[in-house]
A = this chain, B = another copy of it.
Amino acid sequence: MAEIKYDIIKNVGILSESPKGWTKELNLISWNNKAPKYDLRDWSPDHDKMGKGITLTKEELMELRNILNNLEI
């Protein structure tokens, strides 16, 4: 399997932590030395394992902020 290189440029925030210590985080990540993207994903306690997640552009993140601020929760 091809290796995926990633570099966590910035820990933006932690959304939640599971009983086993995995955290759901918003980070700014550079994948394979490309321009960094925002990334929402589960991580093991020492960040050596990652779960499913999605990447988001700055524009998508700004739109998500608008959506959440208009949502009654």
Contacts and interface: CB of A to CB of B under 8 A. Distances in A.
Interface of A: 12-16, 24, 26, 40-42, 52-54, 56-71, 73
A56 B42 CA distance: 11
Contacts of A26: 64, 67
A19 to B, nearest CB: 14
A65 B62 contact: no
Given A40-B54, A54-B54, A57-B16, A65 B63 contact: no
A12 B62 CA distance: 15
A73 B62 contact: yes
B54 A73 contact: no
A13 B67 contact: yes
